[in-house]
Amino acid sequence: MTDLPTLRVEALSADHCAAAERWAQRLGLPLQGDAAFAVQVGAEGLQFVELGDAAPGPVRVDFLEGAVAHRRRFGGGSGQMIAKAVGVGAGIRPSVLDATAGLGRDAFVLATLGCTVSLIERQPLIAALLEDGLARAAGDAEVGSIVARMRLLVGNAIELIGAWQDEAPQVIYLDPMFPHRDKSALVKKEMRLFRPLVGDDMDAPALLQAALALASHRVVVKRPRKAPPIEGAKPGYSLDGKSSRYDIYPLKKLVAVG
């Protein structure tokens, strides 16, 4: 993208100056100077924040507390729509490649249900937040075994899928950034913060095509409920929710193991 906003890395306390320096070097960002956004390093891990008095609060990846933890405990288990979309069922826990990982929430739900999940994130800053969240969760007695089923890959999903050397994932899950045209679609804090960095996934048709060439059993695409399907192959069927839907591209029937 052009005209990217300015960013800097900053430590929230003297104890985290060394870690801030390491992240600045990894991300290729300055440690000082005027900026619209900051990557902050503190006691609660890595976080991303818009600077300014009227800006929303920071965003971090936290698999231990907050909304993600609540969904893990009370989200409905295998009855959730995403579980049905990827084919979770009695004796069926497919291997999943989440090729548009973002902050990892959907991947974590699937890992909680027992799926092994590979995650691809191409935006280095979002990948750093995800890496930090996974590392902090790994040592937790309850959540550590869940994130152990999650493997993070950083890079362009189309390229990584095209060069895939491991066993093909049974399911590839896509949740591309949709080109929003109205303000009401930008209500989530994360969307407002990350859109200047990420933009829209204009290569979604190519990603779908690559996913269909690699997945062994199905491809699942999450879309806003009223949005058209991704250009290209037509989905076999869809599961509709209140604000979003899942377009399913079936390739082979998933069967129970054992």
Task: Tell whether residue 136 is among the known ligand binding residues.
Answer: no
Length of the chain: 258
Does the annotation place 21 within a ligand binding site? no
Contact predicate 127/70, CB 8 Å: no
Amino acid identity for residue 139 in this structure? G
- Is 121 annotated in some ligand binding site? yes
Coil, helix or strand at residue 187: coil
- 106: annotated binding-site residue? yes
Note whether 47 and 129 are within 8 A (CB).
yes
Gyration radius from the chain CA atoms: 19
11 vs 16: CA distance, rounded Å:
5
Angstrom distance (rounded) from CA 30 to CA 33: 7
Q: Does residue 175 have a known ligand-binding role?
A: yes
Whole-number Å distance between alpha carbons of 202 and 108? 26
Give the separation between CA 110 and CA 113, rounded to whole angstroms. Answer: 5
- Residue 66 DSSP SS3: helix
**Which residues belong to the annotated binding site for S-adenosyl-L-methionine?**
105-106, 121-122, 175
Please give the annotated binding residues, written as ranges. 105-106, 121-122, 175
